[in-house]
Amino acid sequence: MATAIPFFEQVNYNFDKAARFTQHPLDLLTQIKICNSIYHMTFPIKKDDGSIETIHAWRAEHSHHRLPTKGGIRYSTLVNEDEVMALAALMTYKCAIVDVPFGGAKGGIQIDRKKYSDSELERITRRYVYELARKNFIGPGIDVPAPDLGTGEREMAWIVDTYIQLTPEKLDARACVTGKPISQGGVCGRREATGRGVYFGLREVCSFAEDMKPLGLSVGLEGKSVVVQGFGNVGYHAAKFLQESGAVVVGLAEHDGGIHAPEGLDVEAVLAHRNDTGSILNFSGATTLQNPAEVLELECDILIPAALENQITGDNAHRIKAKIIAEAANGPTTAEANDLLAKRGVMIIPDAYLNAGGVTVSYFEWLKNLSHVRLGRVGRRFEETTHTNLLHVIEQATGKKLSEEEITKLGHGPDEEDLVNSGLEDTMIVAYNEIRETQKQCGEAVDLRTASFINAINEIAQSYMELGIFP
């Protein structure tokens, strides 16, 4: 059985692989790679039964080349220092790849959230914020968390409320965290952002005929078979948007098993089934697979691991039948598996690019909180009036009368969600084309992951040089 190297070591392996294609001095590369700060905290919480439990938690700030640092908070029994540092490093490179001006960070609390009541989770979350604040590990210009595995809008609302109580004098306090409910300063489209980013990224990847031909695939997403491992927020939205674009979702997996239907699954129907039964298993018309790992090995064009790290390893890489692996999770493919799959001609779309939709839209939320203006509020009506007047001029020039419904639809000014989705779409398109161009310049020795790291290293190195720290 292959032994997976530690997660942070895997990230650094990919970094070193890419660094060989750059001309930066060793001391600069060392500074980029190293994790600048790691804070391991322990604190007691009082449970509902009156007992006391000691909680272990972490926050890592990988790079301060740009501030604030940015990264999610996960609640999981698997949280440890190595994982948090690795995820913080990936966030550094992710932000650089999609040109979002943050350094990378990550946090985690080592708990099984299912074993705690809502009130206990609230106490844990608020105490975690207090511990971060007392060590200056949170703030709009310092370090800005977001949701991750096991957390969501509710936890982010607790975080912002606690931070506001601790810093009542700060006008920009709501910008201390992203992924909040809309009523607490969140932004429309944030919940779907990572999954939508996966869709935008895959759509762009599959638009190049010269790249699809060696894989035996046609251009576009229409008709392509898709398997998604993980049916949480990211996996669900990725599957939903891909299905709406004409792709066929043939397999889904959760922690307790998976389902398979070669003719395709109705994503919304599977969601309704899970809401009713608590599981995706035994969905009508699909074959139930008791071992979720089997879903990774199904016949498909596109495999989307959207769960945890280290899911595709040296042990199962030879059984993977997908032609494209689209990494919606962080670190789902080990370094060993990546090299084995690359030799077989499998295209791997790296996590540091493909799941950057969340941090991209978090950036928009952060900007909204700092400006104290809802996106689109200032210009929407002006644009609607301009568009409507232009349509009336066209009517007069052509003699063709448009209906009120057509006028309303064509003259629509962008609201917040329109602007967010447009910004996300542009970000994913531009970033992929930059990665692809780097890959073409470097030749066959460089895959998409290495090309994305090359771009990230060059971007971060430029920041350090502009600061005058390195010549």
Output the DSSP codes for 408-448.
HHHTPPP-HHHHHHHHHHHHHHHHHHHHHHHHHHH-TT--H
**pLDDT-wise least confident of 57-66, 380-389, 450-459:** 380-389
**pLDDT-wise least confident of 33-37, 87-91, 283-287, 414-418:** 414-418
Nearest Cα residue to 322 out of 330, 311, 335: 311
In our burial notation (b when 16+ CB lie closer than 10 A, e otherwise), range 58-71 reads bbbbbbbbbbbbbb
**What mean pLDDT, rounded, does the chain reach?**
92
Q: Is the pLDDT of residue 137 over 60?
A: yes
Residue 25, domain member (yes or no): no
Residues 273, 154, single domain; the answer is no
Q: Is the pLDDT of residue 3 over 60?
A: no
Residue 14, domain member (yes or no): no
- The arithmetic mean of pLDDT across residues 277-297, rounded, is 91
Residues 218, 329, single domain; the answer is yes
Boundary of a domain, candidates 184, 218, 239: 184
Residues 327, 210, single domain; the answer is yes
Boundary of a domain, candidates 131, 157, 184: 184
Q: What is the pLDDT of residue 178?
A: 97
Residue 12, domain member (yes or no): no
Reported confidence tier of residue 413, pLDDT bands at 50, 70, 90: low
Q: Is the pLDDT of residue 396 over 80?
A: no
Per the omega criterion (within 30 degrees of 0), is the bond before 68 cis? yes
Residue 467 sits in a domain of what CATH number? Answer: 3.40.50.720
Residue 243, domain member (yes or no): yes
Q: What is the pLDDT of residue 32?
A: 95
Residues 236, 327, single domain; the answer is yes
Residues 258, 311, single domain; the answer is yes
- The arithmetic mean of pLDDT across residues 39-57, rounded, is 96
315: burial class by Cβ within 10 Å (0-12, 13-18, 19+)? middle
Residues 180, 205, single domain; the answer is no
Q: What is the pLDDT of residue 405?
A: 75
Tell me if residue 229 falls in helix, strand or coil.
strand
User: What are the angstrom distances between the C-alpha of 187 and each of 101, 255, 287, 362?
Assistant: 18, 30, 39, 8
Reported confidence tier of residue 1, pLDDT bands at 50, 70, 90: very low
Tell me if residue 405 falls in helix, strand or coil.
helix
Neighbours of 372 (CB within 10 A): 11
> pLDDT tens digits for 234-257?
999 999 999 999 999 999 999 889
Backbone angles phi, psi at 115, to 5 degrees: -95, 5
Whole-number Å distance between alpha carbons of 191 and 293: 27
The residues, ordered by sequence, that sit 6+ positions from 45 with a Cβ below 8 Å of its Cβ are 52, 53, 55, 120, 123, 124, 127
The residues, ordered by sequence, that sit 6+ positions from 140 with a Cβ below 8 Å of its Cβ are 68, 170, 172, 173, 175, 176, 366, 369, 370
Q: Is the pLDDT of residue 113 over 50?
A: yes
Residue 390, domain member (yes or no): no
Residues 172, 197, single domain; the answer is no
Q: Is the pLDDT of residue 457 over 90?
A: yes
Residue 162 or residue 466, greater confidence: 162
- The arithmetic mean of pLDDT across residues 213-238, rounded, is 95
Residue 383, domain member (yes or no): no
Residues 101, 208, single domain; the answer is no
**DSSP code for 400:** P
Residues 336, 281, single domain; the answer is yes
Residue 142 sits in a domain of what CATH number? Answer: 3.40.50.10860
- The arithmetic mean of pLDDT across residues 74-100, rounded, is 96
- The arithmetic mean of pLDDT across residues 117-140, rounded, is 97
Instruction: Single out the catalytic residue among 94, 106, 180, 240.
Output: 106
Structure tokens at 304: 């989307």
Reported confidence tier of residue 399, pLDDT bands at 50, 70, 90: confident
Residue with tokens 């599957």: 239
Reported pTM: 0.90
> pLDDT tens digits for 305-337?
998 888 999 899 999 999 999 999 988 999 899
Q: What is the pLDDT of residue 469?
A: 73
Count of CA atoms in the C-beta half-sphere (13 A) of 317: 22
Look at the chain and report how many structural domains it folds into. 2
Q: What is the pLDDT of residue 389?
A: 66
**Cβ distance 98 to 431 under 8 Å?**
yes
Residues 138, 254, single domain; the answer is no
Q: Is the pLDDT of residue 470 over 90?
A: no
Q: Is the pLDDT of residue 15 over 50?
A: yes
- The arithmetic mean of pLDDT across residues 50-78, rounded, is 96
Boundary of a domain, candidates 184, 210, 237: 184
**Cβ distance 234 to 328 under 8 Å?**
yes
Q: Is the pLDDT of residue 28 over 80?
A: yes
Active-site residue 106, yes or no? yes
> pLDDT tens digits for 188-210?
988 999 999 999 999 999 999 99
**Cβ distance 238 to 198 under 8 Å?**
yes
- The arithmetic mean of pLDDT across residues 61-88, rounded, is 96
- The arithmetic mean of pLDDT across residues 357-378, rounded, is 88
Residue 402, domain member (yes or no): no
Backbone angles phi, psi at 81, to 5 degrees: -65, -40
Residues 54, 197, single domain; the answer is no
Tell me if residue 85 falls in helix, strand or coil.
helix
- The arithmetic mean of pLDDT across residues 121-136, rounded, is 97
Q: Which domain holds residue 308?
A: 187-376+414-471
Residue 406, domain member (yes or no): no
Residues 207, 151, single domain; the answer is no
444: burial class by Cβ within 10 Å (0-12, 13-18, 19+)? exposed
